[in-house]
Amino acid sequence: MPNLKPTELIILLVVLILLFGAKKLPDAARGIGRSLRIFKAEVKAQDEIVVEDDKNTETKP
């Protein structure tokens, strides 16, 4: 992952504000946060299902 310097972060923020506007950025961030939360919950649920399946399978000696 690249290291972003403070100057690069400022430029990135200015570009985002110009593209989306100051009013749309909080809504966009909120939507991304919700999406990530849902994704993490689904991945966790899928992992739990896989673990349960592994416990329920019998191993033959």
Tell me the pLDDT tens digit for each residue of 7-52: 999 999 899 888 888 888 889 889 999 999 999 999 988 888 777 7
Q: Which pLDDT does position 40 carry in this prediction?
A: 94
Interacting residues of 4 by C-beta distance below 8 A, sequence separation 6+ = 12
Q: Which pLDDT does position 45 carry in this prediction?
A: 87
Domain ranges of the chain: 24-61
Bigger pLDDT: 55 or 9?
A: 9
Q: Distance between CA atoms of 53 and 56, rounded to whole angstroms?
A: 5
Q: Which residues in 19-46 are b (16+ Cβ under 10 Å) and which e? A: eeeeeeeeeeeeeeeeeeeeeeeeeeee
Interacting residues of 28 by C-beta distance below 8 A, sequence separation 6+ = 20
Q: Which pLDDT does position 60 carry in this prediction?
A: 52
